[in-house]
Amino acid sequence: MRQNIASGFNDQVSLVRALKANDDAVLKILYRDNYPKAERYVLENSGTEEDAKDVFQEAFIAAWRNIQLDKFYPENETALAGYIFQIAKFKWIDRLRADKKNRVISIDETIRPWQKENEENESNDDDFIQQVKKSFKNLGEVCREILSRFYFKKESLRTIASHTGLTEATARNNKYRCLQRLREMVKTT
């Protein structure tokens, strides 16, 4: 039987810390161990592998985002795996609903684990984040490199400087300028 990633951590703090640090190995195992169940569910409910991939990745990102924002604090690996699966399932049901030709099995609709109170604010925040993602794609390669190293890989400015051939002070300035540019691009779109 396969086991989820969190089994490797003795406590909830380590798991959340690894996810907040975007630990590559943890994210990978989390994906690998939980995707098959979501795929089975989608395939058994009129979907394709491509649909399964879409909803699972959306669910994965939604779960990741809520952990980053301290909106969800998984107690253990089962809770985390269940959370991702629930999101994927509801997302797939919502898609089927949108397509009137399909009929869906009846389930309890009252729970949307990733959506809670303040839905209007959350929707505004989500719009803003989507805009950031679009603008980030159009940012220059150098800026994308610096910002992703600093914020996603959590590299220090010294490490970034050594990889890019800049001084630490220039790396700091560039990081600031790149973030400002991204902010301006989001505002003007």
Partner 1 sequence: MQEMSAEEQAAFEHRLAGDQVLQFKVNEMKLLIIGINESMLTQKLEIFHEEVKTATPVRSIQSVKKYAYRKWLAAASVVILAGITVFYFATKPSLQEQLYQTYYSADPGLMTTMSSASDNYTFEKAMVDYKSGDVWNAIESWEQLQTANPLNDTLNYFLGSAWLKLDHQEKAIPYLQQVANKQASVFNADAHWYLGLALLQQGNRSEAVAEIKKSDHPQKGALLKDISNMNNK
For binding to partner 1 (CB under 8 A), which residues are involved? Answer: 1-3, 5, 7-9, 22, 24-29, 31-32, 35-36, 53, 57, 60-61, 64-65, 68-69, 125, 128-133, 135-138, 140-143, 147-148, 151-152, 164-166, 170, 174, 179, 182-183, 186
**What is the rounded CA–CA span in Å between residue 34 and residue 11?**
20
Tokens encoding 181? 């540019």
**What is the rounded CA–CA span in Å between residue 164 and residue 6?**
35
101 or 137: whose CB is closer to partner 1?
137
Nearest distance in Å: CB 100, partner 1: 29
102 or 162: whose CB is closer to partner 1?
162
State residue 22 phi and psi, 5-degree precision: 55, 40
For every residue of 21-82, DSSP letters joined together read: TT-HHHHHHHHHHHHHHHHHHHHHTT--HHHHHHHHHHHHHHHHHHHHTTS---SSHHHHHH
Nearest distance in Å: CB 45, partner 1: 20
93 or 147: whose CB is closer to partner 1?
147
9 or 46: whose CB is closer to partner 1?
9
**What is the rounded CA–CA span in Å between residue 159 and residue 137?**
23
Nearest distance in Å: CB 35, partner 1: 5
- Cα distances (Å, whole numbers) of residue 52 to 29, 40, 89, 99, 138: 18, 8, 10, 16, 28
Nearest distance in Å: CB 118, partner 1: 12
Question: Closest Cα to residue 91, out of 123, 60, 118, 59?
Answer: 59
Nearest distance in Å: CB 67, partner 1: 11
108 or 120: whose CB is closer to partner 1?
120
79 or 104: whose CB is closer to partner 1?
79
Nearest distance in Å: CB 140, partner 1: 4
